[in-house]
Structure 1
Amino acid sequence: MTTELTTTDLQAFTEDWLGWYRAQEERLADPHGFLAITGLHWLDDRPQRFPDAPGSWWTDADGVTVALDDGEELVVEGTPVHGEHHFGVLPERGGVNAVWGDAVIEVAKRGGNDIVRPRHPDAPLRAAFTGTPAYAPDPRWAVTGRYVAFDEPRPTTVGAAVEGLEHVYVAPGRVEFELDGRSLSLTAFPGHTPEGLTVLFTDATSGVTTYAANRSLSVDAPAADGTVVLDFNRAANLPCAYTDLATCPLPPAENRLPVAVEAGQKIPRERGGS
C-alpha cells in the first residue's frame, strides 16, 4: 500500500531521501571507510607480514597477536603499543581498529575467521570514487507491510561474498507485504537500532541494473500492531558491491524477490554501472 503525496510532500520525501543518500556516500567514502581497504588478510597460527600493515600477525586459541619491529607503533584504543600486542579473542562480527599513521588497521572476526584489513585514505578505489548511481526516489516504492515474529528466533546460515565463508544470523521474524499485486515476504534480521530490522534481498533487477549479490534495507521498529514501512528507495549496496575485499552476507534463499524493485542504489561504477 502506498499513499498519494502532494507536491509539497513529494518535495519533502525527495529531500529526506537525498539526506539518506548523501549520508550513505559519506560513510562509504570516509578516509577509513570500505573504499579505503587495501587488503583482506586471513590469519592462522603462522606469523605473517603484510605490505600494507606493520608487524607480524597470527592467531591461535588466545586470539590475535601482532609482533611489531623496532620503530613500529600502533595506537590501540588511544594507547601507543610497541613490541608484541595481544588483541585477544574477538567476537564474531566484532573487531578493533588500530591506528598506524594516517591508516587504520582493522582487526576483526568474520565467519569464524580472524582477519586483518588495512584501510588507507589514499587507496586507489577511494581516490577514484565519484558516487553511486541510484534510481530517482519514488513514493510508490515506500510499501507498508506487516512484521510477523517467529515463535522462536531462527538461526539462519547464509553465504558470503567470499567463497566458502558463511555467516549465521538469528532471524526474529519476517515482513509480509504486497508489491505489484503479489503477496511477498522477506526474512528479517536484527537491525542497527533498538527493535529495528535489516533485510537482505535480491530481485529481478539484480545483476541487470542493481548489484547481483545483494542489497540491504533498514526497517524501523514495527508499530504495536506490527506495521512497518519498507522504503525500497533506500535499498543500499553493501561494501562487496564496490570491493572484493569485503565479507558481506548474502540473502537467505527465500529473500529472492520475483519482481523488479526499480528503486534504491544501482550497480556501482566500480563494477561497470552507469
Structure 2
Amino acid sequence: MTSIQEPTTAEEFTRAWEEWHAASQRALADPHGFLAVTSLHWLDGGPTRFPDAPGAWWTGPDGVWVELAADEELLLDGEPVRGRYGFGVLPERSSRYAAAGEAVVEVAKRGGRDIVRPRHPGNPLLRDFTRTPAYPPDPRWAVTGRYLPFEAPRPVTVGAAVEGLQHVYDAPGEIEFTLPDGGGTHRLTAFNGHLPGSLQVLFTDATSGVTTYAANRVLSVPAPDGQGRVTVDFNRATNLPCAYTDLATCPLPPAGNRLPAAVEAGERIPLERGGLP
C-alpha cells in the first residue's frame, strides 16, 4: 500500500525537487533522446530513402520494412541487420530502436501510422541544450487530492502536437483537488502512469502560452493510498517533447483538463522556444 508522505521542511522539499529536476534534465539530454531527433518520416507503401538514416523504408499490411544497400547495416538488439528486414506490425505507441553507427533509428507507430524517426547525438538542438527554466519549488503547490476511479476504464480521444493526428488512451478515473490561494476545486481526467498503479495528468492552465508551454504539460502522480488519496505536486509539472521540437507527436490534454487558475509551478517555456531564463 502506498501512503501519502508526511510534510517535510522547506529545505528538504527544495532539495528533493532539485534532485528530481536535475535527473529530469539528464534524461532530456540523453544522446539518443528527443533532443537528438533530426527528422520525422511518415511511411507509405513506396520504398523511400532519407538523408539521416540508412536504407529504403516502407510500410504495408505486414508492417514496416527496410531494404539496406550492400554497404549498409543496422544493429537491432545487438544483432546485425543487412539486406531486407521486416519489423512486423507494430502496436500503437510502441517503438523499436536500431543503431546506425553513432545514431539510432526509431521505428514506431503513432496515431495508427508507421514512422521512422532518426536520432543523432550531434543534432544542434541537443548540442546546444543547457537547461529548462522552471518556477522555484513551493510547497503550496503540492496538494493532497482524491482519486475517483471509474467503474471501468473509459477510452478518451485527444488531439496531438501534429495536426490531424489523434491518440486514444484508456482513462481509469479522475483526480479531484483544491488549488491553493482560493484557486478552487477541480477534477482532471487521469491516464495510467509508467509505474504500476501510478497516474498521469495532461493539463493546461492560465499560464499556458504565457510563461509555460501553450499546448500541454504533464504531471506524474504516485499511486493512491488505501483511502484513495494522492499527492498532486505541480512543482513537478513537466514539458513533453513537443515543447522542444516540432518532430514529436505528443498528445494534447483531454477536453476539460484546463485549469482556470495560473499554476505558477513546474517547468516553464523552454529556452529553445523563446522562454525566459
TM-score (norm 2): 0.96
State the aligned residue count.
270
Indicate yes or no: 2:69 matched with 1:69: yes
Unaligned runs of 5+ in 1: none
* Deviation by residue 1:111-153 (Cα, 9 ceiling, x = unmatched): 1110000000000100111110000000000010000001221
- Counterparts of 1:172 and 1:50, CA distance in 2: 40
CA offset at residue 77 of structure 1?
Answer: 0.9
Q: Which residue of 1 aligns with 2:273?
A: 271
**One-letter code aligned to 2:125:** L
- Counterparts of 1:183 and 1:265, CA distance in 2: 22
- Counterparts of 1:103 and 1:60, CA distance in 2: 25
Q: Which residue of 2 aligns with 1:203?
A: 205
Indicate yes or no: 2:231 matched with 1:229: yes
**One-letter code aligned to 2:149:** A
Identical positions, percent: 68
- Counterparts of 2:75 and 2:226, CA distance in 1: 46
- Counterparts of 2:16 and 2:195, CA distance in 1: 19
Q: Secondary structure at the match of 2:135?
A: coil
CA offset at residue 5 of structure 1?
Answer: 6.0
CA offset at residue 4 of structure 1?
Answer: 10
Q: Which residue of 2 aligns with 1:40?
A: 40
CA RMSD of aligned residues (A): 1.2
Tell me which of 224, 227, 250 is aligned to 2:252.
250
- Counterparts of 1:133 and 1:4, CA distance in 2: 28
Unaligned runs of 5+ in 2: none
* Deviation by residue 1:192-226 (Cα, 9 ceiling, x = unmatched): 00000000000000000000000000000001111
Q: Which residue of 1 aligns with 2:30?
A: 30
Question: Which consecutive segments of 4 or more residues in structure 1 shift more than 2 A?
Answer: 3-6
Q: Which residue of 1 aligns with 2:263?
A: 261
- Counterparts of 1:95 and 1:198, CA distance in 2: 20
- Counterparts of 1:44 and 1:75, CA distance in 2: 23
TM-score (norm 1): 0.97
Indicate yes or no: 2:108 matched with 1:111: no
Q: Secondary structure at the match of 1:54?
A: strand
